[in-house]
Amino acid sequence: MTKFRLLFKQYRWAILSALLLGSSYIPLPPWALFFCWVPIWRDVIEEKSLKRIFLKGWVLQVIAISIGFHWIAYTVAEFGNFSWIFALAALCLYSTTVYLYFPLAMVAGVWLGRKTQMPLGWQFATIASFHVVGEIFWPAIFPFNLGYPLYYVKMPIAQTADVIGVAGLSWLVYLLNAQIAWLSHRKERVAARVLAFSLLGFLLLNLWGWQKKAQWEGGDRTLHILQVQANIGNFEKVQATKGYAFQSEILSQFFALTQEGLAQHPETELVVWPETAFPDYLGAHNAGRPYTRQLIEFARTIKRPILTGGFGNDPPDHFPRRQYNSLFLYDENGNAVAPYYFKTYLLIFGEYTPLGRQFPALIKLNPAGEGWGWGSGPLVMSHRNLRFGPQICYEGVYPEFSRALARQGAQIFVNATNDSWFGSPFEPMQHLMVTMARAVENRRPLIRSTNTGITSVALADGTILQESPTHESWQGAFAVPYRENPELTFYTKYGGLLPLVVGAFILLACFAKRASKTKSLAGRIRVGKHRPPIRK
């Protein structure tokens, strides 16, 4: 018991910060977002051992990630078809290894601060900046970012993401944590002045964000869409993917929900179905397949274009012939509109076997098999005067992907998703908010169609329209305002410069103490030259 007490005492601030951080991430209210890092940063700044700093950061990482991303275990079991013992082991492995930039950022910040003898405030700011560097560059499957909770609670400051991106918002959150940590070491009068100045700056940024939201309301065009959420179970989808069964039942549900929605909303111009909604292969070279013919006839019957997820493959004369998780657009005459989009960012195990191409024996060990082929990257799908930017599932969480679509001329983003593999309620809301933030960064409306929820639309001003229920069959109509020739935002054009800005800030911090010492030395020299003579 004594050893346990000593261990708890040693890591108590790491545990406290982990609980504050884990309980402030989506879908929980971000009540401690602006001070959750303060306890551990105050602790590690006084810690002499870099090894112990790393261990404290690692403890925080394990606890916080286990709280916020506990659904990883469910995903491994459902999506990867592994046993629950393996799934829990995978969660443990994920929380202990995937976000190692947490402790590394603290080690790097403390080490650099001591090496250059930074003032205390600059040391905290450097640690904060290294965290943002980790968020941007660390190869995590599901990127972690503290800017998204600001969008989740609809803070006007989130509207500035079209200038600094959500990663820039996250940097502001970290810097506010650093300032509070620094203020806790200062005299009361100094702390009060700096805090008042920071609150004024935060208020001005929110006012600026409020003005930006008003600037992007509405559009010069409106697209009326019908979204269909059929709530197909995982077992049925797996069997349909393998071509064993349930194809007819799945199609019947989508056809029935679509016809029901069109009867209620005859103004519909486009029908949107989610990821892998169509349980067979699509594309012009697959037009003769029985289920594909049914879709073609259905499009002709309803006289509406259908944008749907489905299975893609290479033409018969292509070798090797690969299969793809894909998005297809069929016009009102039942014609497949080229180009088709093949998913680029595949999820490990469920959609591909790591190192499977180099070591084919590994494919046999993966219950999901070989998986899908890799797409060639972002591309724009066009139909008449509309230009869609397609994304499948987690491609919406990568800012660079959406920025590329906007630069290619996309007017509207379309994200097709199947979140049935991820459980409820944490992941569906996290995935929704992380994806919808791309609408604010690039000022394009984003249509999000899911199999089990949450299906919705985010407008260019960041407003999220009606959200579908989760794990229920549902259909809903949306009027989506968009701009015929939307301008590129500052973030769309220059968002890649943010790491350089953060790096320059860290470099500036390295010279903060050095400049201060030089100035102080110069002052002493001047005083020495003009000092009065010493009387005997």
Q: Is residue 53 reached through a cis peptide bond, with omega within 30 degrees of 0 on the bond before it?
A: no
**pLDDT at residue 527 greater than cutoff 60:** no
Q: Average the pLDDT over 176-190 and give the result.
A: 82
Structure tokens of 466?
């009606």
Q: Average the pLDDT over 199-214 and give the result.
A: 94
When pLDDT is cut at 50, 70 and 90, the band that residue 361 belongs to is low
- 């959500």: which residue's tokens? 166
**225-267: pLDDT as tens digits:** 999 999 998 878 877 877 777 899 999 999 999 999 999 999 9
**376-405: pLDDT as tens digits:** 999 999 988 899 999 999 999 999 999 999
Question: What was the pLDDT predicted at 516?
Answer: 52
Catalytic residue among 36, 213, 236, 393: 393
Q: Starting at the earlier edge strand, list the strands of the sheet with 306-313.
A: 336-342, 323-330, 306-313, 270-272, 221-229, 474-482
**pLDDT at residue 369 greater than cutoff 70:** no
When pLDDT is cut at 50, 70 and 90, the band that residue 69 belongs to is very high
**Could you tell me what percent of the chain has a pLDDT over 70?**
90
Catalytic residue among 56, 236, 343, 427: 343
**pLDDT at residue 282 greater than cutoff 90:** yes
- Taking the C-alpha atoms of residue 289 and residue 301, their distance in angstroms, rounded to an integer, is 18
Determine the topology of domain 223-488 in CATH: Nitrilase/N-carbamoyl-D-aminoacid amidohydrolase (3.60.110)
Structure tokens of 31?
């009540």
Q: Average the pLDDT over 463-468 and give the result.
A: 97
Average pLDDT, the chain: 90
Q: Are 460 and 219 within 8 A, CB to CB?
A: yes
Q: Average the pLDDT over 339-356 and give the result.
A: 82
Which comes out higher in pLDDT, residue 440 or 322?
440
Catalytic residue among 47, 135, 236, 275: 275
The question of whether 510 is a catalytic residue gets the answer no
Q: Average the pLDDT over 159-180 and give the result.
A: 96
DSSP string, 401-459: HHHHHHHTT-SEEEEEE-GGGS-SSHHHHHHHHHHHHHHHHHT--EEEEESSS--EEE-
Most confident of 141-145, 195-199, 411-415: 411-415
Structure tokens of 188?
């009361």
Q: Are 158 and 172 within 8 A, CB to CB?
A: no
Question: What was the pLDDT predicted at 141?
Answer: 79
Q: Whole-prediction pTM value?
A: 0.91
**pLDDT at residue 350 greater than cutoff 80:** no
DSSP string, 208-267: HHHHHHHHTSS-SEEEEEEEEE----HHHHHHHHTTSS-HHHHHHHHHHHHHHHHHH-TT
Instruction: Identify any residues that bridge with 272 across adjacent strands, giving them in sequence order.
Output: 227, 307
Which has the closest alpha carbon to 176: 21, 35, 19, 18? 35
Ranges for all domains in the chain classified under CATH 3.60.110.10: 223-488
When pLDDT is cut at 50, 70 and 90, the band that residue 295 belongs to is very high
The question of whether 393 is a catalytic residue gets the answer yes
Helix spans in 47-147 (H)? 50-68, 72-79, 84-97, 101-116, 120-137
**Could you tell me what percent of the chain has a pLDDT over 90?**
73
The question of whether 487 is a catalytic residue gets the answer no
**pLDDT at residue 535 greater than cutoff 60:** no
Which has the closest alpha carbon to 406: 433, 436, 376, 445? 445
**14-57: pLDDT as tens digits:** 999 999 999 999 999 999 999 999 999 999 999 999 999 999 99
Question: What was the pLDDT predicted at 368?
Answer: 61
The beta-carbon contacts of 254-257 under 8 Å, at least 24 apart in sequence, are: 254/228, 254/230, 254/278, 255/298, 257/228, 257/229, 257/230, 257/473, 257/474, 257/475
When pLDDT is cut at 50, 70 and 90, the band that residue 458 belongs to is very high
Which has the closest alpha carbon to 457: 431, 425, 432, 491? 432
Q: Is residue 481 reached through a cis peptide bond, with omega within 30 degrees of 0 on the bond before it?
A: no
Lowest mean per-residue pLDDT among 117-121, 148-152, 445-449:
117-121
Lowest mean per-residue pLDDT among 310-319, 330-339, 428-437, 519-528:
519-528
DSSP string, 326-384: EEEEE-TTSPEEEEEEE--SPPBTTTB-TTTTT-THHHHHSTTTTBPPPP-----EEET
Q: Are 479 and 521 within 8 A, CB to CB?
A: no
Helix (H) or strand (E) holding 270: strand 270-272
- Taking the C-alpha atoms of residue 385 and residue 366, their distance in angstroms, rounded to an integer, is 44
**106-146: pLDDT as tens digits:** 999 999 999 999 999 999 999 999 999 999 999 887 888 99
Question: What was the pLDDT predicted at 363?
Answer: 65
Question: What was the pLDDT predicted at 520?
Answer: 47
Write the CA distances from 399 to 78, 168, 436, 445, 461, integer angstroms: 27, 12, 11, 15, 17
Give counts: helices (H), strands (E), the chain.
19, 11
- Taking the C-alpha atoms of residue 22 and residue 464, their distance in angstroms, rounded to an integer, is 25
